[in-house]
Structure 1
Amino acid sequence: MYKHTAKTLGAAALASALALTVGCSSGTPGASGGDDQIEITQWYHEYGAPGAKEAVQKFAADYTKENPKVKVKVVWVPGDYPAKLNSALLSGTGPDVFESSPVGERIFAGQVAPLDDIYGDAKSDFLPNSISSMTVDGHIYAVPMTDGTGMLYYRKSVLKDAGIEPPATMDELISAAKKLTTGGKKGLFIGNDGCTSGQLPKIAIWSSGQEIIKDGSVVFDNDRAAKAYEKMAELCNSDSLLLGAPADWYDSSSFIDGLVPMQWGGQWTLDEVEENLGDDFGVVPWPALDAQGTPATWYGGWHQQVSSKSKNIQAAKDFVQWLWIKNTDAQKKWATDFGSTAPVRESIVAEIPALTKSPGKDFMDAIKNYGHLESGVYWSTATETALGDALNNVVKNGADARAEISKAAAKATSEVERIKADSKLK
């Protein structure tokens, strides 16, 4: 999942504008707030960006001002948010409204309410990729908040001086990384784990022109996926990758400090890179495997969901509709003030100048044209692990790529079948 970088804009103003008490215990969904006022709880994971907590507190307070009979209690959850959320939802003491990454198992477990009825005409304004990430059997189970993605950052001046064009295929990337490895510096950084960092086990398959899971079926058990892993092994064993960097791929410091002229990184570092390097950088998606492949990247973000066990489901849905569908000013603020992320609505993208020109526009185009959901509704941790293990065995142990792909596909198939068998949506 993508990370937020710290931004200080507006934090003090928001803090002084509102002082709400935020607890870390869940309470009972839909508990009464006194008299005839309904209280609904809304959970967030602990964002690191200054001002984020104050912003969501103000959103909640503004809603109550407009709807005095509904009090929204914001709960800022530190630590292992997914584990705490799962535990609370299973026990029936979880929040009425909560943010979540795309986790299909919660949908199939019957833990979240469908939200089809709150979109209205605004549905067409949301990026189709974002809507599809929480759709099962035609029903939408969440409202996306923001998306994020990864791109290959490169120094324009360094590549120009070396006579290198931004790589569009894996062979071009390998050639560029080798040529740029000079003077004791490596040409490329994609993570301290080598080829298994930053969604690369999945991106490699996508770059071959293949999907991983499509319409509830595993579809990557083929020679193209195996060829993609073989090409990753060629890259990772080319002695042109930076390993042991001071920070991992999700941090831009290695690129900014000139340790490498190319780095795989996230959209959340765009502001920091631009602040330090000006216009001396560009971004491209992960290169296509070959002429039959396609550039590729992942996308993913946080979504708002409503617990199916809430005692006030309609009130919870009304709040989500007000904040994440009707209140476009709040959505724009959330996408821009607390780290560089991708808005999920076309109308908001058009209102942000930085996203209508490069490099911001390049990120948005990559999501739309080459983006693949990082964890769809039939995804599981076991499937993620199987793909990572397969690529690791090919890269580091010289294992047969075709056999490793088949092994990973078998595990993914068993996971999809398990999710379907356990589904409570039948």
Structure 2
Amino acid sequence: MSAQSNTSWNRRSILRAAAGLAVAAPLAACGSNNGRGGGSGSGKQLVQYFHAYGEAGVEQAVKRYAKAYTKANVSTQWITGSNFENKLFPALLTKQAPDVFEFHPQIQLIKSGQVADLTDIIDPVKDDFNPADIKSHTVDGKIYGVRMIDDPQFFFYRKSMLEKANVAVPTTLDELIEAAAKLTTSKVKGLFLGNDLTAIQNNLIWSAGADTLDEKNQIAYHTDGVIEGLTKLRKLFTSGNLLLDAPADFWDPSALNQGLCAIQWGGMWGMPATQAALGDDFGVFPFPKIGSSGKQSVYNGGWSMFVNAKGDNVEAAKEYVKWLWIDQKQYQEDFATSYGFHIPPRASIAAQATKLKSGAAADGVKLFNTYGHFDNIGWTQAMITAFNDVIANTVRKNGDPKSALDTCDTKVNRELKKLFG
């Protein structure tokens, strides 16, 4: 799985998993091996959860960092498969809960008291972090979670294929749909948006000039521009020019690398593999604008480290997180650039990340800085799932976009009322 895998999860199960944090049902943990024990430290036993990154060497690196820590025995649960949150959330309700885990900033984790306030360990270096990463982890002036990596998502394209078909890099959704038609041949599809299309759902909103929620935590996605985007995506879905049911999902660049499509939605993490496969025969561009009020967009995903506030070792876990994700800059740069390409969230580390300073990687960083949107901490798993259903019911099943958005509104407003009153 890629570094930004949340959009490739089994979406039908996310709502159940998210709801699990609010109940005390004795759900099963991650099998018989709870991961405790091992490690080379002394004293406390700490367990950390990671989803299975797809890039070679990441698991070994994570375990190498943990082994170097001397103040506790830190063992790693490396959660394989596409249902990381379905292992994490139920485990958090048990005695086998991890002390430390990676996830994305979501306010229900804070409202339920699940994650610890990390303001004290982040404050001394707060100004070195990307301000958007601090903002997306902050509630009522307190910072929850340390950003490990920023993961921009955008389109990758084969330069030679576009040149041969006389296709310019698209800047509008209409141009993207036209390009997909011109690039499609008997052997190659013009475009790949991921197997269930949900990978691009936030960009559909942003590129239409809308947002998930506004500053008052009210619905901001139900606009004419978003309806226009859904309608046009339905046209694309039925055109025969879209790659469907690829062997690997959007987070794996193999659809583009193996010549199954000419343009693929993907993450910057896949860039080294694409460089190895295609050399310089690829470029990147943002999600194109939709409608007259639209703007091009890039999704700035990523992963953050959290401390389980309900665990037995909160202070020891915070000390470990501070050691690894704040003090050990060498490990942080290694994690961000030695496997897949990710943008270090700290300016001092990003400034010395030489691998990101040339070629397509530099272009990706520029897109991140120019068009990037970060996660809204109030946009929770249940809300993501509700908008998944909009994509499924309008783009894949030809339902009415306005009706589907009305249904989504009801679900999202129910969640907003729980969270914000």
Q: TM-score range by the shorter chain?
A: 0.7 to 0.9
Tell me if the contact between 1:212 and 1:220 (Cα under 8 Å) persists in the aligned partners.
Answer: yes
Tell me if the contact between 1:208 and 1:289 (Cα under 8 Å) persists in the aligned partners.
Answer: yes
The structure-2 alpha-carbon separation of the partners of 1:24 and 1:368, relative to structure 1 and needing over 3 Å to count, comes to: farther
Letter in 2 for 1:410: T
Identify the residue that residue 285 of structure 2 maps to in structure 1.
284
Identify the residue that residue 409 of structure 1 maps to in structure 2.
409
Q: Give the secondary structure class of the aligned counterpart of 1:246.
A: coil
Q: Which has the larger radius of gyration?
A: 1
The structure-2 alpha-carbon separation of the partners of 1:291 and 1:124, relative to structure 1 and needing over 3 Å to count, comes to: farther
The structure-2 alpha-carbon separation of the partners of 1:156 and 1:105, relative to structure 1 and needing over 3 Å to count, comes to: same
Tell me if the contact between 2:2 and 2:252 (Cα under 8 Å) persists in the aligned partners.
Answer: no
Tell me if the contact between 1:232 and 1:395 (Cα under 8 Å) persists in the aligned partners.
Answer: yes
Superposition RMSD in Å = 2.7
Tell me if the contact between 2:230 and 2:391 (Cα under 8 Å) persists in the aligned partners.
Answer: yes
Q: Note if 1:309 corresponds to 2:315.
A: no
**Which stretch shows the higher mean deviation, 146-155 or 390-399?**
390-399
Deviations 1:69-111 (A, max 9, x none): x213223243554333323332354233222233332111001
Deviations 1:252-288 (A, max 9, x none): 2221222322122222221111111111110001111
Query: 2-side partners of 1:248 and 1:54: how far apart?
Result: 24
The structure-2 alpha-carbon separation of the partners of 1:99 and 1:3, relative to structure 1 and needing over 3 Å to count, comes to: closer
User: TM-score, normalized by length of structure 1?
Assistant: 0.82
Identify the residue that residue 44 of structure 1 maps to in structure 2.
50
Contiguous gaps of at least 5 residues in structure 2? 6-31
- 1:173 is displaced (CA, Å) by 0.8
Tell me if the contact between 1:299 and 1:367 (Cα under 8 Å) persists in the aligned partners.
Answer: yes
Tell me if the contact between 1:53 and 1:76 (Cα under 8 Å) persists in the aligned partners.
Answer: no
Tell me if the contact between 1:97 and 1:306 (Cα under 8 Å) persists in the aligned partners.
Answer: yes
Q: Note if 1:127 corresponds to 2:130.
A: yes
Deviations 1:152-198 (A, max 9, x none): 111112222333221111111112112222355332222334xx242
Identify the residue that residue 389 of structure 1 maps to in structure 2.
389
Deviations 1:8-46 (A, max 9, x none): xxxxxxxxxxxxxxx941569xxxx98xx4444333334
The structure-2 alpha-carbon separation of the partners of 1:226 and 1:49, relative to structure 1 and needing over 3 Å to count, comes to: closer
**Identical aligned residues as a percent:** 37
The structure-2 alpha-carbon separation of the partners of 1:189 and 1:381, relative to structure 1 and needing over 3 Å to count, comes to: same
Tell me if the contact between 1:150 and 1:298 (Cα under 8 Å) persists in the aligned partners.
Answer: yes
Contiguous gaps of at least 5 residues in structure 1? 6-22, 65-69, 422-426
Identify the residue that residue 62 of structure 2 maps to in structure 1.
56
Identify the residue that residue 178 of structure 1 maps to in structure 2.
181
Query: 2-side partners of 1:346 and 1:82: how far apart?
Result: 30
Query: 1-side partners of 2:55 and 2:191: how far apart?
Result: 29
The structure-2 alpha-carbon separation of the partners of 1:396 and 1:88, relative to structure 1 and needing over 3 Å to count, comes to: closer
Tell me if the contact between 2:2 and 2:53 (Cα under 8 Å) persists in the aligned partners.
Answer: no
Q: Give the secondary structure class of the aligned counterpart of 2:189.
A: coil
Q: Note if 1:322 corresponds to 2:290.
A: no
Aligned length: 389
Identify the residue that residue 374 of structure 2 maps to in structure 1.
373
Identify the residue that residue 148 of structure 1 maps to in structure 2.
151
Identify the residue that residue 8 of structure 1 maps to in structure 2.
none
The structure-2 alpha-carbon separation of the partners of 1:50 and 1:183, relative to structure 1 and needing over 3 Å to count, comes to: closer
Q: Note if 1:295 corresponds to 2:296.
A: yes
The structure-2 alpha-carbon separation of the partners of 1:2 and 1:210, relative to structure 1 and needing over 3 Å to count, comes to: farther
Deviations 1:320-347 (A, max 9, x none): 1121112110100111223222322222
Q: Note if 1:109 corresponds to 2:112.
A: yes
- 1:289 is displaced (CA, Å) by 0.8
Query: 1-side partners of 2:286 and 2:412: how far apart?
Result: 26
Query: 1-side partners of 2:406 and 2:53: how far apart?
Result: 39
Query: 1-side partners of 2:396 and 2:325: how far apart?
Result: 45
Tell me if the contact between 2:225 and 2:293 (Cα under 8 Å) persists in the aligned partners.
Answer: no
Letter in 1 for 2:351: A
Match of 1:190 among 193, 211, 215: 193
User: TM-score, normalized by length of structure 2?
Assistant: 0.83
**Which stretch shows the higher mean deviation, 399-408 or 86-95?**
86-95
